[in-house]
Structure 1
Amino acid sequence: MSIRDERKQQSRQALLDAALYLSTSGRSFSSISLREVAREVGLVPTAFYRHFADMDTLGQELVDQVSVHLKGLISQIGHNYLQHQLLPTEDQSLTIVELFFLAVDHSPNQWIFMISERWGGSAVLRQTIHHEIEDLVEQLSNDLKRMPSLKHIQETQNLSVISNILINLSFTWAMTWLGLKNEYEGASLKQQQQALIQQANTQIRLLFRGAANWKNPTNA
């Protein structure tokens, strides 16, 4: 890559980063103007068009970037469970959940963006996020097929239901976790965080324990 191409890529990424920052600072993506994004990175508005056709195009690429990160994280929950021939013990499951929340703390803006824009004001972003979640459901369902404790579940629809529940739980966990910092501090924050970790651990263990004992009504 030439120096010119590298600088162009840096400017493009800077615009994406600026849009992510602005849309997670108490505002929705649809309320942010092209001029604001360009100004945030020190570019004139006309320079924006060297990288994106409009804000919708930028938003779609931003969803793509954020989705890659979140897909890897959510899928890792499934992969961690796949490492065990049987269901993980309570301690092993707790470790998986704790790692999830550490990852949320590491990239809070990605979660805030996806959670707010999933039902936000931009129809283009809502549709793009919907398709990304559909892809994630399919990816996670394929992972679950390899889990020894779920081999008895052959119906793709049932695996998709499990995947949907896990994905929606992940969004709820992340949203609640990030919200705790706005309501509590110090020892109270730690206490609330531990309570959420325990709750999430119970939920995921109930989900997989129920799936491991699932019987299709037609075969019951």
Structure 2
Amino acid sequence: MSDKAGDSARATEAPGKRALMEAAVRLAANSRCITSLGLRELAREAGLNPNTFYRHFRSMEDLGLQLLRQSNHQLRGPLRALRRQAAQQSIASRDLDPEQEEKLRGRRVSQQTIRLYFDYVLEHRDRVVIAVRELHGPSELLRAELRQQMNEFAEDMAADIQTLGLAPANISTQRIQTIATLLSRNLFYLSLDYIAEPERRDAILELAHEQILMLFTGAYLLQEMADREAH
């Protein structure tokens, strides 16, 4: 854990701060941006004196920033840990050649990390809805934070794909980073469908997994074509 993440985690242990953050989530979850909340409204929802707010936050924008960073911390580490765990599990079968085993390994990691991501989405649906809204909201600070977080998820994904050998060897580092960036943004937007359409959740999981396979298959074929043209 970085110092910044550790400080944030310790700070949210303060009951008053935690109450204010939870109240902000409840108030903003339906149709509002964090920065549109009123101080007295928020304090009333949290059951606190309005003066308590400034013991913990400089502004509503600061509260929103800390909410986004807290959510990011809760998901980012577990996703990487699950990728490593899934990648390390062996597939013992005499019927599989090394290439088939690598494909199945990559698919297992993809399916498990997608499942963890969408489990998080359901468990923290209000925060996810707020994050999607803030990505197009009035605060440039919060928009920039969310863009940075999506870039960090993509960097994590790309690094894990390469370190764990989850992509065909001929796909370049640049293409893996591009794929990870596309996937990071697409999963973020699929979150809304996953929350709003419970009857389609299995189909959304399958769609997300299929998109991963299509992107890597396309990158593999593009690289093969480039290699043939080079020779």
> How many residues are treated as equivalent by the alignment?
206
Structure 2 residue identity aligned to 1:152: N
Give the TM-score of the pair, scaled to structure 1. 0.77
Secondary structure of 1:120's match? Answer: coil
Distance verdict in 2 for CA 1:114–1:160, change over 3 Å? same
Unaligned runs of 5+ residues in structure 1 are: 182-188
Give runs of ≥4 in structure 1 deviating > 6 Å.
Answer: 5-8
User: How far is the alpha carbon of 1:16 from its aligned partner?
Assistant: 1.5
1:124 and 2:141 correspond = yes
TM (normalized to structure 2)? 0.74
Aligned CA-pair RMSD: 3.1
Partner of 1:64: 69
Q: Distance between the aligned counterparts of 2:58 and 2:129, measured in 1?
A: 25
Q: Secondary structure at the match of 2:40?
A: helix
Structure 1 residues 74 and 90 mapped into 2: Cα distance closer, same or farther (>3 Å)?
closer
Which of 2, 17, 35 is 1:12 aligned to? Answer: 17
Distance 2:81 2:131 in 1: 18
Structure 2 counterpart of 1:203: 211
Whether 1:167 aligns to 2:184 is yes
Q: CA distance change for structure 1 residues 80 and 120 in 2, over 3 Å: closer, same or farther?
A: farther
- CA distance in structure 1 between the aligned counterparts of 2:212 and 2:183, rounded to whole angstroms: 8
- What residue ranges of structure 2 are gaps of 5+ in the alignment? 1-9, 90-100
1:86 Cα offset (Å): 1.0
Distance 1:7 1:120 in 2: 24
Q: After the TM superposition, which residues 185-204 of structure 1 pair with which residues of structure 2 at under 5 Å, given as runs? A: 189=199, 192-204=200-212
**Structure 1 residue 115 displacement after superposition:** 1.3
Q: Structure 2 matches for 1:114-153, cutoff 5 A? A: 114-148=131-165, 149-153=167-171
In 2 relative to 1, CA 174–19 (structure 1 residues): closer, same or farther, beyond 3 Å? same
> Does residue 23 of structure 1 match 2:7?
no
Determine what percentage of the aligned residue pairs are the same residue. 26
SS of equivalent to 2:104: coil
Q: Shift in Å at residue 104 of structure 1?
A: 2.1
- Pair 25,168 (structure 1): closer, same or farther in 2 beyond 3 Å: same
